[in-house]
Structure 1
Amino acid sequence: MYGEPALPPDFAALPYVNPDAPKGGEYVQSEIGSFDSMHPFILKGRAPWAWQTFGFESLMGRSQDEPFTLYGVLAETVETGPNREWVEFTLRPEAKFNDGSPLTVEDVMWSYETLGTLGHPRYHTAWGKVASMEKVGERGVRFTFNEADNELALLMGMRPILKKADWEGVDFEEASMRVPVGSGPYVIDNIDPGRSITLKRNPDWWGKDLPFYRGQHNFDTLRYEWFGDGDVAFEAFRAGELSYNRENNVAKWNSSYDFPGVQSGDVVKAMIPHKRPSGITGLVMNTRLPLFADWRVREAMILAFNYEFISEKLNDGGDPRICSYFCNSELAMQPGPAQGKVAELLAPFAADLPPGTLEGYTLPVGDGSVRNRANLRAAMDLLNEAGWRVDDAGVLRNEAGEAFAFEILLQTGAPQPANIAELYVEALKRLGMQVTIEAIDRAQYKERTDAYDFEMTWYTRPLSMSPGNEQILYWGSQGVTEPGSRNWMGMNSPAAEAMVKAMLETDDREVFLAAVRGLDRVLTAGRYVIPIWYSPEARLAFKKQMKYNADHLPAYGDWAGFLPDVWWWEE
């Protein structure tokens, strides 16, 4: 995205793999909930993410050791215009699907148009910026763009390629258990509908000798087992039925990982550092609803969240709090008032920005006591300003007599969000609010969050070291009404969209940094999410036979492309 790739054209392998890793072994991972589709490219249905990840390929592959750099996979060469106004890919002649048929330019073009028009909304934004797509020679395809966006040339290399003939007579927009043909390193070996899938490494996979893939995809089988909740999955891991467990809770890491497998050395514990931004995790408020439309109400909700007490009680106070969406990175907003290019970029929107965006905003800090009195008093003052008063019966009401009542929607099988919500509700009751918690299964949860049918819910958005077009899907105004976006809070901010536009149009690293820091201010001071903690290291526990290159961890750490991609099994 910026500068030159870290690896030369003749690189032998990615730096964080073991290029001589042995092949073999079985990897078993838990998933929570269920699945009802093997079609992972549309909004409908619940398809296993692993099938898309390991069953299909794109023109380019991403190095997890650089903020945003791609290397050729299906594409043998890539060329761009002087201002990235177009990009042209040439396919490798040896590329083929797993049924043995050649992978052609026609397959690429059909895939891009179909995904961009009928596929999941995540594919639509970039496709809308394509002015034309044309075949060049026997193996080339060129995309010409209709607006300035330096990221588009990379995004065009990252779409899954499907076999056109495989979809003839099939309704692409309908979810089903039909298994589509892919070109990736694994094929489906077994499906137990709703309960498990097993992927088998394809020994005849066309791409196994590519430098990009050397040392990757080492397990013979990848098996994914679905469980009703995280506690049951953890017990399965303790019993040796799963290959690894990722632990997000410090308190549990400190207290629950002394079982016999750890004591005997059969299970290994490791901390995997990373350089990613914190992203955002916490309780999101749906501002499409009048109840949370006022920033003063949202600030009151943040004040009422007794973070210091909750963190100590549920997480041993072991991880730092998320201070902003891009916290823990150079992309994060700087303390104090906006200055320089950041202030310049935000200035046209100053009149409509909530307080703290330009002046500087920090999350309130409590005294750590269970009562959190000072912050609750400040919260009540803001609620009073916004027109809410506690009546004689102790119920918080507005001038129309409506009670301040809402529901926190959670997914079953997620104990940490449930525990946090229960402690939070106790504090909200002291403000006169009437709050309930509802936990529903994964299918219902997906349906309701896709349609933004909630008042408050649990929200997690990981963010990369090179934010770009995906930010529109996360925060763009289309998501206020268009279902299936990541804009669960329903924010409609011209300032946020302008920051994303500036990020995409510049080739100046300093302007890019300023635009992201400006976006971080808009998001954080918008007070849409009540953030909890993040970990600058991932906590992994795994069977001792599982190995990774501990001498060179990718910059993204425990992220897509790490586990199980570059691990291997060694007796």
Structure 2
Amino acid sequence: MMQTRARARARAHATTAPQTWRLFLISLFALGLAVAATMVRAESQETIIESHGISSFGELKYEADFPHFDYVNPDAPKGGTFSTWAFGTFDSLTPYILKGNAAALSTIFYDTLMTGNLDEPDSMYGLVAHTVEYPESREWVIFHMRPEAMFRDGSPVTAEDVVFTFNTLLEKGQPAYRVALKDFQTVEALDPHTVKFTFNPEGPLRELLMTAGGLPILSKAYYDEVDFTESSLEPPMGSGEYELLSVDPGRSVSYKRRDDYWAKDLPVNVGQNNFDEIKIEYFADYTTAFEAFKAGAYLFREEYQSKIWATGYDFPAIDKGWVKQEVLDDGRPAGTQGFWFNLRRETFQDPRVREALGMVFNFEWSNESLFYGTYERTNSFWENSDVLQAEGMPSEDELALLEPLRGQIPESVFTEEAFVPPTSSASDLGDRKTLRAAGRLLEEAGWEVGDDGLRRKDGKVLSVEILNDAPGFDRIINPYVDNLKRLGVEAKMTRVDNAEASEREKVFDFDVTVRRYAMSSTPGDELRSIFGSESATVDGSANIAGIADPAIDSLIDTIAKAESREALTTAVHALDRVMRANHYWVPQWYKGSHTIAYFDVFGRPYGDTPPPYGMGEVSIWWWDADKAQALEAAGAF
């Protein structure tokens, strides 16, 4: 399988440490698993919850005195280097602004109030904050911060820094922050180490506590002297465990572990962050990156090209046992990789057009001819999740959510099973049956074939440009373009470099592009940034398709405000069903596993089954000095 830009970015972040900045979640009391202290304030009779952690539905696994997460090796040795690769280029170490292309893992400089883990889908535990306090109504939260928390320069991390961070991200950060933080009413420093967030009572309160806990903490003193809005290759001031070691713009970036990191002995960090150095090498294409791996230019590679996985791993380092090749389970939803239509373009506003164009992507032919039968077709936005993926006809509980939207959503939602892309011939790229069905849909939409074989409506030719910055993806896009031409579409693929593609996507200057979203196992308010109307016209937003549909907004709101996991699951099924019926994308493929290769210099705390929410190769693996010495003696490096 080919790794898209977004997939590369998602993997680079998702496998290094829990994505606390994405866990837009909230907690209740811990249902006996990790009991949070409660008290009742006499003046209001309002129950206040105090806890060492927060989760969506109170399902904390770890008690207040837990020594470390279960999946780590608390005695893991420190040292050595973890190196991997990234696609494209970078020109900045500033990850929270729209300007520039930030380097992979550049969020590593920053600590957060709370942090997640690879064991639970929606829980966070204290990092800069040691405890949280909030009412059952969830309309506010107070974080009690650790006085020992320090920035890299030795200055304390204070509540004023948290307030500054919120205001700065809201006013000067990526435009998407204005969507994510819109239901924050006030952020106050109650004292130097206590900060209070107050939320809109009508907002998605289950989510907002987690959003607050996952914000990176910026240094106010540092940005009093430095312009936050300008991209820079100077290392920013953070309080995280890693600082910049070296940077070669566009080519490589290295981070080094800080010996003086203030939180290295906290339970949430025990057995983690074991490498002295983390290095990312950049390459402009996948083939060059693979050849560099074979030569030992970097040590770890997750393989996304099925052809290389099937035919390329026969080089000497494999034969000599220097490089290990493995397939590990991936317990997360597979995500939503596909060709995304830009709904801001008039051409793609008719769902019949989108469905027709999607039908002629022949996955079955691609899987057999290009992918060595490695993959399965993606159907759902929560593919590979038996719990969250909609199937069959809507249930009674789903209908209770869908009926009020009748007339605003496709009627097929009520009359047909959840949409699944049609199956085409694996032996015939231009499956005539599928092409005829797609042609009928275009004719219904008013796109008629002219004498020159092209489809027109109101004198305008039906044209589609697919944006591509990955040379290895040509072999997948070109057959799709051929089928679109058979359908009478004036189709083409436009190849650009990674920097141009990133800039064009920021301002939505494309017809169709490829993207993958790594969907949460506990979806919530983050869906507004991906599929909500508020983000549709915000430059640089994650809503790449420009979805702006009140019915979708309503279902997202229901998901964000769900008060039980059962209610959440029902609402996700309904949203999945409606979005699939709207044909916003052409789903591609997935596999529920990690295909990895690495030089045998690492240790890890598990065998063939990693934690359910990530391999943790950067966060919980470690450098095995004996293995490394043996490979060096054998001439592997």
Q: Same fold (TM over 0.5)?
A: yes
Which of 74, 78, 81 is the matching residue for 2:132?
A: 78
Give the structure 2 partner of residue 392 of structure 1: 451
Secondary structure of the structure 2 residue equivalent to 1:132: strand
Deviation at 1:352?
2.0
Could you report, residue by residue, the CA deviation over 1:195-218 in whole angstroms, capped at 9, with x for unpaired residues?
222111111111111111011111
Alignment of 1:325-336 (within 5 A): 325-336=381-392
CA–CA distance in structure 2, aligned partners of residues 127 and 395 of structure 1: 46
Paired letter, 2:115 = G
CA–CA distance in structure 1, aligned partners of residues 177 and 604 of structure 2: 32
Indicate if the aligned counterparts of 2:86 and 2:104 stay in contact, CA closer than 8 A. Answer: no
Paired letter, 1:368 = A
Secondary structure of the structure 2 residue equivalent to 1:517: helix
Deviation at 1:499?
1.4
Give the structure 2 partner of residue 91 of structure 1: 145
Deviation at 1:179?
2.1
Which of 605, 611, 615 is the matching residue for 1:554?
A: 611
Give the structure 2 partner of residue 212 of structure 1: 268
Give the structure 1 partner of residue 35 of structure 2: none
**Alignment partner of 1:449 is 2:505:** yes
CA–CA distance in structure 2, aligned partners of residues 157 and 525 of structure 1: 35
Which of 509, 518, 521 is the matching residue for 2:577?
A: 521
Give me the identity figure in percent: 38
**Alignment partner of 1:376 is 2:427:** no
**Alignment partner of 1:16 is 2:71:** yes
Give the structure 1 partner of residue 194 of structure 2: 140
Could you report, residue by residue, the CA deviation over 1:274-302 in whole angstroms, capped at 9, with x for unpaired residues?
22112111111111112111111111112
Give the structure 2 partner of residue 428 of structure 1: 484
Give the structure 2 partner of residue 404 of structure 1: 462
Moved more, 542-551 or 296-305: 542-551
Deviation at 1:331?
4.2
Question: How has the CA–CA distance of structure 1 residues 223 and 46 changed in structure 2, closer, same or farther, with 3 Å as cutoff?
Answer: same
Paired letter, 1:383 = L
Secondary structure of the structure 2 residue equivalent to 1:111: helix
Could you report, residue by residue, the CA deviation over 1:56-112 in whole angstroms, capped at 9, with x for unpaired residues?
110001012111100101111111211211111011111101111111111111111
Paired letter, 2:424 = G
**Alignment partner of 1:55 is 2:118:** no
Could you report, residue by residue, the CA deviation over 1:381-414 in whole angstroms, capped at 9, with x for unpaired residues?
111111112112222222x23221221111144x
**Alignment partner of 1:26 is 2:26:** no
Question: How has the CA–CA distance of structure 1 residues 199 and 101 changed in structure 2, closer, same or farther, with 3 Å as cutoff?
Answer: same
Moved more, 123-132 or 463-472: 123-132
- Gaps in structure 2 of 5+ consecutive residues: 1-55, 627-637
Indicate if the aligned counterparts of 1:331 and 1:516 stay in contact, CA closer than 8 A. Answer: no
Deviation at 1:38?
1.6
**Alignment partner of 1:183 is 2:243:** no
Could you report, residue by residue, the CA deviation over 1:302-340 in whole angstroms, capped at 9, with x for unpaired residues?
211111101111111222111110122144343332222
Secondary structure of the structure 2 residue equivalent to 1:348: helix
Paired letter, 1:22 = P
Paired letter, 2:264 = K
**Alignment partner of 1:464 is 2:523:** no
Indicate if the aligned counterparts of 1:284 and 1:489 stay in contact, CA closer than 8 A. Answer: yes
Deviation at 1:569?
0.7
What is the TM-score normalised by the length of structure 1? 0.96
Give the structure 1 partner of residue 291 of structure 2: 235
**Alignment partner of 1:309 is 2:365:** yes
Give the structure 1 partner of residue 59 of structure 2: 4
- Gaps in structure 1 of 5+ consecutive residues: none
CA–CA distance in structure 1, aligned partners of residues 118 and 177 of structure 2: 21
Secondary structure of the structure 1 residue equivalent to 2:105: helix
Give the structure 2 partner of residue 251 of structure 1: 307
Indicate if the aligned counterparts of 2:336 and 2:516 stay in contact, CA closer than 8 A. Answer: yes
Deviation at 1:136?
2.5
Give the structure 2 partner of residue 269 of structure 1: 325
Paired letter, 1:88 = I
Give the structure 2 partner of residue 292 of structure 1: 348
Secondary structure of the structure 2 residue equivalent to 1:194: coil
CA–CA distance in structure 2, aligned partners of residues 469 and 49 of structure 1: 25
Paired letter, 1:543 = F
Indicate if the aligned counterparts of 2:176 and 2:535 stay in contact, CA closer than 8 A. Answer: no
Indicate if the aligned counterparts of 2:323 and 2:597 stay in contact, CA closer than 8 A. Answer: yes
What is the TM-score normalised by the length of structure 2? 0.86
Deviation at 1:362?
1.8
Indicate if the aligned counterparts of 1:96 and 1:206 stay in contact, CA closer than 8 A. Answer: yes
Deviation at 1:464?
1.3
Secondary structure of the structure 2 residue equivalent to 1:28: strand
Indicate if the aligned counterparts of 1:346 and 1:495 stay in contact, CA closer than 8 A. Answer: no
CA–CA distance in structure 2, aligned partners of residues 405 and 82 of structure 1: 54
Secondary structure of the structure 2 residue equivalent to 1:315: coil
Give the structure 2 partner of residue 362 of structure 1: 420
Alignment of 1:482-493 (within 5 A): 482-493=538-549
Deviation at 1:471?
0.5
Indicate if the aligned counterparts of 1:191 and 1:198 stay in contact, CA closer than 8 A. Answer: yes
Deviation at 1:177?
2.3
RMSD over aligned CA atoms reads 1.5
Deviation at 1:23?
0.7
Deviation at 1:160?
0.6
Indicate if the aligned counterparts of 2:333 and 2:519 stay in contact, CA closer than 8 A. Answer: yes
Question: How has the CA–CA distance of structure 1 residues 212 and 2 changed in structure 2, closer, same or farther, with 3 Å as cutoff?
Answer: same
Moved more, 168-177 or 227-236: 168-177
Which of 70, 74, 94 is the matching residue for 1:39?
A: 94
Give the structure 1 partner of residue 42 of structure 2: none
Moved over 3 A (4+): 330-334
Residue-pair matches, total: 564
Secondary structure of the structure 1 residue equivalent to 2:405: helix
Deviation at 1:484?
1.1
Paired letter, 2:97 = I
Question: How has the CA–CA distance of structure 1 residues 170 and 358 changed in structure 2, closer, same or farther, with 3 Å as cutoff?
Answer: farther
Indicate if the aligned counterparts of 1:276 and 1:555 stay in contact, CA closer than 8 A. Answer: yes
Give the structure 2 partner of residue 129 of structure 1: 183
Deviation at 1:3?
2.7
